[in-house]
Amino acid sequence: MDAGQLRGMDNAALKKQVDDLQHEMFNLRFQRAAGQVANFNRVKQVRRDIARVQTILRERARQEAQPK
């Protein structure tokens, strides 16, 4: 998922996306601990997607907080 697609989404959709990604990361951590992860790159990809979405949410929050 690239930042351009994410910037087109509204805040509610982004928060839902973060929740979904965090749930997936939770499952991947358990799979990794049990040695059942088929794709180790997915852990890295999900972690970066979470950071990307949170960055966009933070940018929007800072823009709204700035006095005009």
- pTM here is 0.88
Structurally, at CATH architecture level, domain 3-65 sits in Orthogonal Bundle (1.10)
- Gap between the Cα atoms of 18 and 47, Å rounded: 10
Amino acid 67: pLDDT: 77
pLDDT in tens, 34-54: 988 888 899 999 999 999 999
Residue 53 burial (10 A CB sphere; 0-12, 13-18, 19+): buried
- Gap between the Cα atoms of 5 and 49, Å rounded: 12
Would you say residue 7 has pLDDT above 90?
yes
